[in-house]
Amino acid sequence: MNSAISYHRGVAGRMRGWFRSSGNNEWIQQARTRLAQAFLDMDHRQSAAEAAVGAAGQMFPGQDHSRAWEPVRARCYAAADAYLSWSQELEAAERDNTWLPAGQARTDAVVAQLADAAAGIDAFYQQRRATLEEAVQLARVVPQLVARVRAEAAEVRGRVLASEYAGYPSVRQRTAALDEVLLTLDALDPATEAGRVRQTANRVQAITEELSEALSQAPFRGTAATNAVSSASTRLDAVRTRAQGLRPAYSALLREFNAASSADLTNNERESQRAIDAAAEALTRARTALRENDPETALELTSIARGDLAEAEQLIDSVTARLAMLRSVREDPEKKLKDVRFRLRDAQMLAVSRDLVSEWGSVLDAQAERRDRISATLSGRHPDYWAYVTELDAVTEFIAGVVERMRKQPGPPR
- With beta carbons less than 8 A apart as the criterion, state whether 178 and 211 touch: yes
CB 312 within 8 A of CB 275: yes
Q: Residues in the chain with pLDDT < 50? A: 2-22
- Closest-CA residue to 5 (of 65, 72, 87, 61): 87
Note the maximum CA span of the chain: 131
For helices 103-127 and 26-59, give the axis angle rounded to 10 degrees: 20
> What is this structure's pTM?
0.60
pLDDT value at residue 413 = 56
Angle at 290 between CA 284 and CA 296, to 5 degrees: 105
**Residues near 17 by Cβ (< 8 Å), separated by ≥ 6?**
94
What is the number of other CB atoms lying within 10 angstroms of the CB of residue 308? 23
CB-CB neighbours of 132 under 10 Å: 24
Number of Cα atoms under 13 Å in the Cβ half of residue 147:
5
Rounded to 10 degrees, what is the CA torsion of 315, 319, 321, 325? Answer: 150
pLDDT value of residue 39: 93
Angle ∠(30,31,34) on CA atoms, nearest 5: 90
- Please report, for the chain, the start and end positions of each structural domain, with discontinuous segments joined by +: 2-127, 141-218, 221-331, 333-408
The amino acid at residue 88 is Q
**Three-state helix/strand/coil letters over the chain:** CHHHHHHHHHHHCCHHHHHCCCHHHHHHHHHHHHHHHHHHHHHHHHHHHHHHHHHHHHHCCCCCCHHHHHHHHHHHHHHHHHHHHHHHHHHHHHHHCCCCCCHHHHHHHHHHHHHHHHHHHHHHHHHCHHHHHHHHHHHHHHHHHHHHHHHHHHHHHHHHHCCCCCCCHHHHHHHHHHHHHHHHHHCCCCCCCHHHHHHHHHHHHHHHHHHHHHHHHHHHHHHHHHHHHHHHHHHHHHHHHHHCCHHHHHHHHHHHCCHHHHHHHCCHHHHHHHHHHHHHHHHHHHHHHHHCCCHHHHHHHHHHHHHHHHHHHHHHHHHHHHHHHHHHHHHCHHHHHHHHHHHHHHHHHHHHHCCCHHHHHHHHHHHHHHHHHHHCCCCCCCCCHHHHHHHHHHHHHHHHHHHHHHHHCCCCCC
Orientation of helix 333-353 relative to helix 295-331, angle to 10° = 90
What is the predicted pLDDT for the residue at 10?
43
> How many angstroms separate the CA atoms of 212 and 345, rounded?
62
The answer to whether 319 touches 246, Cβ cutoff 8 Å, is yes
| Phi, psi for residue 219 in degrees, rounded to 5 | -60, -20
Closest Cα to residue 345, out of 314, 367, 313, 318?
Answer: 367
Nearest partner of 330 among 246, 245, 389, judged by Cα: 389
Determine the Cα angle at 21 with ends 18 and 22, to 5°.
135
Residue 115: name the closest of 167, 79, 154, 152 by CA. 79
pLDDT of residue 412: 60
The whole-number pLDDT of residue 6 equals 45
Measure the CA–CA gap between 110 and 102, rounded to whole angstroms.
13
Q: What is the pLDDT of residue 346?
A: 93
Q: In whole angstroms, how large is the CA radius of gyration of the chain?
A: 42
How far is Cα 26 from Cα 99, in angstroms, rounded to an integer? 12
